[in-house]
Structure 1
Amino acid sequence: MKKNILFVISNDNIGGPQKSLLALLERLDYTLFNIDVMILNPSGNLKELFPKEVNVLKADKLLTAFTMPSDSIFYTLGVFLKELKIRQFILALKAMFNYKIKKRPMNQERQKFWVENSKHLEQSDKNYDFAFGILGLSTYYVVDCVNAEKKYHWIRSDSRMLNRDVGIENYYFKKIDGALSVSQECESIFNDMYPYMNGRTKVFYNYLPLSFYDSFSDNTVLSKDSINLITVARLDPLKGLDLAIKACKLLVDKGYEIKWYVLGDGKGRKEIEKMIEEYSLQEVMILFGFKLNTLQYIKQTDIFVHPSRAEGKSNAVDEAKYAGVPIVVTNYPTVKEQIDNEYNGLIAQFDEVDLSNKIERLIKDKELAKTLGQNSINEQNEVVDPNSFLCSL
């Protein structure tokens, strides 16, 4: 008999976690599983790329409003008014006041709102063997609203960096059957924070959605008249684009003819554009915006730079390793699970001088750059069969 599995994800914008889910869905044997995907904030395009066997459950407007998406707070308030949810309208206003005026973390305000109001949400009318929560309040939805034999949280990042209310997290994590982690380091951090999860957390590495990349190639060709660097990241302070801009300026001042392409978008775009202008790098540091086929661009560059301050297990770094492009990363806590310094990449400290020095080293030492890239290709991990893994849970 087929197993019924539900994946719940906070949104279907195409970022790293969404690509990983897509890659997993591409590898599943649909003679073994019936797969549903619930998207709490269905405003993106990911659902159009799922295999035809996947049943997409679209959240209604009220459920989406209960998650309080940060990019559509006025929409949220409008939904509450239209549905005559006056109490929720007032509590949402209070959460926004606490965030905007009192400078309290929005993640925590969102958690508190959910705890106070989730009892008003409808229960899922389907029974599942497994249900997985991915990102945001997805695990909370799984715990509160889903009937499943086993419920799992999916650890996508360094849990210390999420700035969430640990008391509320504890309340929910004590109600789940286990957790999956994208890396051993993320598993260790998570278990240190929530010791009762020891023995109930398993590592399940990301896949790259290769068939997805094949479907979305374009004709963009990067100029070969300069040294091409690339960063693939959400435009967010955690991703370290400020370090990249400062490092770029140091390299330009030394006379290097470089183009530094940045693939990604986000709420920090205006600040980054302003900083690029302040450093007079408009012709050097190019914000390409969001691109579906990031791998296509990575393959055309000379050096991949990942200046992040926090990661789980970076999809972008895995893409660069797959492409055999030499890598420079910053020394965020989980980096050593993907990069062995001096073997398949160079690890820089969190300052623009060391970051620029590591990049300069690869510009000067072509043999080292070639060796790092080849080592990445040679060490491609054996892929775990997801069908066997899910059946073993």
Structure 2
Amino acid sequence: MIKILFVINNMEQGGIQHSLLELIKKITIYNRFDISLLCLNRMGEYYSHIPKSIKLIELSKYQMISEMDLKHCKEKGKIHFFFRLFTSLITKMGFKNIASKLYTAVLGKTKDTYDIAISYSQPTDDRDFFCLTNEIVINCCKAKKKGSFVHCDFKLYGGNTIRNRKIYEKMDFICAVSSSVKKQFIDCIPEARNKTSIVYNCCDADSIVLQANEDAIIYNRPTLVSVCRLSEEKGLLRCMPIIKHLVDKGFEFEWHIVGGGSLYTALEKAIEFYHLNRVVVLEDRQSNPYRFMKNASYVFVPSFHEAAPLVFDEAIILGIPVLTTNTLSAEEMIKKHNYGLVCDNTDEAILEMLIDAFSSKIEFATCNNVKMYRDEQSFIEAINKVVGEL
């Protein structure tokens, strides 16, 4: 049996967490893998969906402080509060290395030794004490081989720092979630070229199709659906004046935004400001976003930057064309296969793309083999390569 430990910051509703959940579900059927999971903050919509066969481990009762704000740390007790306060302050002062070393020293080492330990999240900015899964794999996990996933446009996502690049250089292997993500990562860290493989996000096509048919939403007008975290990089706010312009031009449509996040209130205010209450609908977090996608005209992804968003795969599985800005994997995953339209990453180009989408009937391709789409094989191949080096 090959003992694998995955490390992730939380199991909140998000693309990274969902792809990990689907991956471990699929590889548990292989008798050759003994899977453990270290989730720093053992909460989130997906936590209860982790298969019973997965061993859930805990390093320390203080492991969650990197994933909690001061208010929630205070509720845990004075030690949690002051530990979080101190590490946050020295991180903001430019001493994240000291903060992370203190944090990982308090967490200690794993009791078991693993064949492979994998960080499933990428690090954040040097002044942000959050998501230290890479540091934990390097400093806390007893393992023969250590690696990390890259789910971001490493050049643009905000964490492309000297410190973070040095952490990746310590890893034995890297898994990039698309060819474009791999290329961008290697451009930033050329030393990682020979140890970086492509491991696609994992999807359960049967489950997605099944959930999409459960009480699917029926729309009476052409409909855009966006499924994402409500954060700046998703480009939602910049689309409000674009949507207003289309409405003023007489276009009849609606836009449903499924997801929660820090921009929820700002989006509410923008909808009010542009008088879009009858056009733009905030659906908040949904346990089943696929019922909103099922009958949509398009899945709309107006992000400033993305890696290989899981919603691309989900739209392809459901046969829904994608309208997206030209982020890192858009050409590779969407345009190359004619699964939708890709535009330049400007407000003007987004407007033109939406006008084209609503004004003409465009023939798009559909996936020929949905059941085999984005299965676990690329991960198995990467693991076999690592195991061969043990």
Same fold (TM over 0.5): yes
Contact 1:133 1:153 in 2 (8 A): yes
Distance between the aligned counterparts of 1:11 and 1:234, measured in 2? 14
Question: Take 1:164 and 1:387, find their aligned partners in 2: how far apart are those partners?
Answer: 28
Q: Which residue of 1 aligns with 2:366?
A: 376
Decide which moves more: 241-250 or 125-134: 241-250
* Structure 2 counterpart of 1:82, one-letter code: I
In the alignment, structure 1 residue 72 sits paired with structure 2 residue 58? no
SS of the equivalent of 1:160 reads coil
Tell me the residue number matched to 2:126.
none
- Asked if residue 168 in structure 1 is aligned to residue 154 in structure 2, the reply is no
Distance 2:89 2:263 in 1: 25
Residues 1:304 and 2:290 are matched in the alignment = no
Which deviates more from structure 2 when the two are superposed, residues 351-360 or residues 25-34?
A: 351-360
The alpha carbon displacement at 1:92 in A equals 3.3
Partner in structure 2 of residue 364 of structure 1? 359
Q: Which has the larger displacement, 331-340 or 134-143? A: 331-340
Match of 1:53 in 2: 53
Q: TM-score, normalised by structure 2?
A: 0.87
User: Is the contact made by 1:213 and 1:296 (CA closer than 8 Å) also made in structure 2?
Assistant: no
Q: Residues 165 and 113 (structure 1 numbering): CA distance in 2 closer, same or farther, change over 3 Å?
A: farther
Structure 1 residue 193: Cα displacement: 1.6
Q: What is the SS of the residue equivalent to 2:367?
A: helix
Q: Show the counterpart of 1:126.
A: 112
Cα distance in 2 between the residues matched to 1:177 and 1:303 = 40
**Aligned residue in 2 for 1:25:** 24
Alpha-carbon distance between aligned partners in 2 of 1:51 and 1:211, rounded to the nearest angstrom:
17
Question: Is 1:40 matched with 2:35?
Answer: no
Number of equivalenced pairs: 373
Q: 1:209 to 1:165 in 2, by over 3 A?
A: same
| 1:390 pairs with 2:383 | yes
Whether the 8 Å contact between 2:201 and 2:374 is mirrored in structure 1 is no
Structure 1 position 392, deviation (Å): 2.9
For residues 323-342 of structure 1, what are the structure 2 equivalents within 5 Å?
323-340=318-335
Counterpart Cα distance in 2 of 1:174 and 1:302: 44
Q: Match of 2:115, as an amino acid? A: D
Match of 1:101 in 2: none
In 2, the alpha carbon distance for the partners of 1:269 and 1:279 equals: 16
1:1-393 to 2 correspondence within 5 Å?
A: 2-28=1-27, 29-58=29-58, 60-65=60-65, 67=66, 69=67, 72-76=69-73, 79=76, 81-82=78-79, 88=83, 91-92=86-87, 94-95=89-90, 98=92, 113-135=99-121, 136-164=131-159, 166-210=161-205, 212-213=207-208, 220-340=215-335, 343-366=338-361, 368=362, 371-372=363-364, 375-378=365-368, 383=375, 385=377, 386-393=379-386
Q: String of CA shifts for 1:279-333, please: whole Å, max 9, x gaps.
A: 1111210010112222332121011111011111010111111212122101223
SS in 2 for 1:199: helix
Q: Please provide the CA RMSD for this pair.
A: 2.6
Q: Secondary structure of the equivalent of 1:234? A: coil
Runs of 4+ deviating beyond 4 Å: 77-80, 108-112, 214-221, 379-384
| CA distance in structure 2 between the partners assigned to 1:305 and 1:198 by the alignment | 33
Can you give the 5+ residue segments of structure 2 that lack an aligned partner in the other structure?
122-130
State the alpha-carbon separation in 2 of the partners of residues 199 and 362 from structure 1: 42
Bigger Cα displacement from structure 2, 4-13 vs 26-35: 26-35
* Cα distance change on mapping 1:147 and 1:288 into 2, 3 Å: same
Give how far 1:79 is off: 4.8
Q: What is the Cα deviation at residue 78 of structure 1?
A: 5.6
TM (normalized to structure 1)?
Answer: 0.86
For the residues of structure 1 that align with 2:139 and 2:185, how far apart are their CA atoms? 22
**Could you say if the C-alpha distance between residues 292 and 211 of structure 1 is closer, same or farther in structure 2, counting changes exceeding 3 Å?**
farther
Stretches of structure 1 that go unaligned for 5 or more consecutive residues are: 99-103
Q: Tell which deviates more after alignment, 285-294 or 115-124.
A: 115-124
Q: For the residues of structure 2 that align with 1:356 and 1:247, how far apart are their CA atoms?
A: 6
Task: After TM superposition, give the deviation of residue 260 of structure 1 in Å.
Answer: 0.5
Instruction: Return closer, same or farther for 1:75/1:60 CA change in 2, 3 Å cut-off.
Output: farther
Q: Are 1:42 and 1:59, in contact at CA under 8 Å, matched by a contact in 2?
A: no
Where 1:296 maps in the other structure, the secondary structure is: helix
Identity of aligned residues (%): 23
Change (3 A) 1:379 1:313: farther
* Partner Cα separation in structure 2 for residue 221 and residue 154 of structure 1: 33
CA displacement at 1:91 relative to structure 2:
2.0
Does the residue aligned with 2:16 lie in a helix, a strand or coil? Answer: helix
Taking the aligned partners of 1:200 and 1:185, their CA distance within structure 2 comes to 16
Cα 1:312–1:9 shift into 2, 3 Å: same
- Partner Cα separation in structure 2 for residue 246 and residue 319 of structure 1: 28
Deviation string 1:57-90 (CA, Å, 9 cap, x unpaired) is 246431111x2x2x5232235657236x85x355
CA contact under 8 A between 2:216 and 2:294: conserved in structure 1? no
